[in-house]
């Protein structure tokens, strides 16, 4: 395990433990979340190192790289339907900024969004992922070659009009180095589209240590609007739009109910997700947030 003695956003060293969470997916181990008193950034600490993190993703209960849903519960079938609908909305949003151009899907996972970009035909898409399993899956199922994350520095500077990271940034060990890579790869008038769970959402507060959005230790960071904006500012970016991922609230709430051991997790989670979304109409703190980010 590696222990962070300072905040990766502001560099401050006034850190305090806030909550302990269980890994409900792979190991059943407990991990602590610390908050920086200087800027409010919340992060998992200590955390598995890059060498140690792999086994924590090796579970059929981890959805992002679980290709086959055969035998899985109704929630995963819902996940697939919502995913396909959300992909169309994401492409529409990107087109409102860049009707065409070069786009990187960084952390492309099983390639559904990447494949939709290819089918759309408006962009020249490139997929990148850290997982060998994901790279193989995308090639076998969609016939698309995905580059490994280790190749990021081989791309020419100012290569992309848009770079997407859908629930990826919270997994990246070298956070500031990743932001520097994005700065180098993005064209001056380019746009980042980054989605992350929101640790200031109603459902995060309601479920506490059982909130699925914490997903320790795979989620190393637990952003909210303030900490995310501070990170962007640090690296010469500016958040120009913040959008809701409205379907994340019921899905995350359903999984949180499972973590609680609740009966009727689907209905309970749907109800909690609805409450969270209604609350967010007034607070702006949706369960997950999609940030549209521009170079400054």
On whether residue 29 sits in a domain, the answer given is no
Whether residue 147 is preceded by a cis peptide bond, meaning omega within 30 degrees of 0, is no
On whether residue 241 sits in a domain, the answer given is yes
Segments forming the whole domain that contains residue 159: 68-210+234-295
Is there a contact between 143 and 162 (Cβ–Cβ < 8 Å)?
A: no
On whether residue 220 sits in a domain, the answer given is no
On whether residue 256 sits in a domain, the answer given is yes
Whether residue 46 is preceded by a cis peptide bond, meaning omega within 30 degrees of 0, is yes
Sheet holding 15-22, edge to edge: 15-22, 30-36, 42-44, 221-222
CB atoms within 10 A of CB 15: 18
On whether residue 57 sits in a domain, the answer given is no
On whether residue 283 sits in a domain, the answer given is yes
Scan for tokens 């947030």, then name that residue: 289
Is there a contact between 224 and 200 (Cβ–Cβ < 8 Å)?
A: yes
Structural domain total, the chain: 1
Residue 207 dihedral angles phi and psi, to the nearest 5°: -90, -20
Task: State the CATH number of the domain containing residue 130.
Answer: 3.40.50.150
Q: pLDDT for 22-76, tens place per residue?
A: 999 999 999 999 999 999 999 999 999 999 999 999 877 665 544 554 544 666 6
On whether residue 130 sits in a domain, the answer given is yes
One-character DSSP codes across the chain = -B---S-TTT----EEEEEEEE-TTTT--EEEEEEETTT--EEESSB--TTTSGGGG-STT--TT----TT--HHHHHHHHHHHHHHHHHHHHHHHH-SSEEEEEET-TTSHHHHHHHHH-SEEEEEEES-HHHHHHHHHHH----EEGGGGGGSPTT-EEEEEEES-GGG-SSHHHHHHHHHHHEEEEEEEEEEEE-TTSHHHHHHGGG-TTT-TTT--EE--HHHHHHHHHHTTEEEEEEEE-TTHHHHHHHHHHHHHT-TTHHHHHHHHHHHHHHHHHHH---SEEEEEEEE-
On whether residue 141 sits in a domain, the answer given is yes
Q: Which two tokens stand for residue 210?
A: 């059982």
From first to last of the 296 residues of the chain, give the pLDDT tens digit: 999 999 999 999 999 999 999 999 999 999 999 999 999 999 999 999 999 999 999 877 665 544 554 544 666 677 777 888 999 999 999 999 999 999 999 999 999 999 999 999 999 999 999 999 999 999 999 999 999 999 999 999 999 999 999 999 999 999 999 999 999 999 999 999 999 999 999 999 999 999 999 999 999 999 999 999 999 999 999 999 999 999 999 999 999 999 999 999 999 999 999 999 999 999 999 999 999 999 98
Whole-prediction pTM? 0.94
């Amino acid at each position: 395990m590696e222990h962070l003695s300072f905040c990766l956003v502001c560099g401050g060293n006034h850190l305090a433990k806030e909550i302990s969470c269980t890994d409900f997916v792979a190991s059943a181990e407990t991990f602590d979340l610390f908050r920086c008193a200087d800027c409010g950034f919340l992060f998992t600490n200590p955390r598995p190192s890059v060498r140690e993190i792999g086994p924590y993703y090796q579970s059929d209960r981890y959805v992002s790289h679980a290709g086959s849903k055969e035998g899985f519960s109704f929630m995963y079938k819902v996940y697939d339907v919502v995913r396909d609908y959300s992909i169309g909305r994401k492409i529409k949003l990107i087109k409102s900024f860049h009707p065409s151009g070069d786009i990187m899907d960084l952390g492309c996972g099983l390639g559904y969004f990447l494949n939709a970009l290819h089918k759309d035909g408006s962009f020249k898409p490139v997929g990148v992922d850290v997982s060998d399993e994901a790279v193989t899956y995308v090639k076998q199922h969609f016939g698309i070659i995905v580059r490994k994350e280790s190749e990021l520095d081989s791309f020419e500077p100012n290569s992309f009009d848009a770079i997407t990271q859908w629930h990826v940034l919270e997994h990246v060990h070298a956070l500031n180095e990743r932001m520097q890579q994005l700065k180098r790869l993005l064209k001056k008038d380019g746009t980042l589209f980054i989605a992350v769970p929101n640790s200031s959402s109603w459902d995060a507060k309601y479920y506490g240590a059982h909130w699925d959005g914490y997903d320790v230790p795979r989620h190393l960071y637990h952003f909210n609007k303030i900490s995310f904006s501070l990170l962007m500012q640090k690296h010469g970016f500016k958040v120009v739009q913040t959008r809701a991922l409205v379907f994340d609230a019921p899905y995350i709430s359903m999984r949180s109910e499972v973590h609680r051991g609740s009966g009727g997790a689907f209905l309970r989670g749907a109800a909690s997700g609805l409450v969270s979304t209604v609350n967010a109409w007034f607070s702006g703190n949706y369960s997950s947030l999609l940030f549209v980010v521009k170079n400054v």
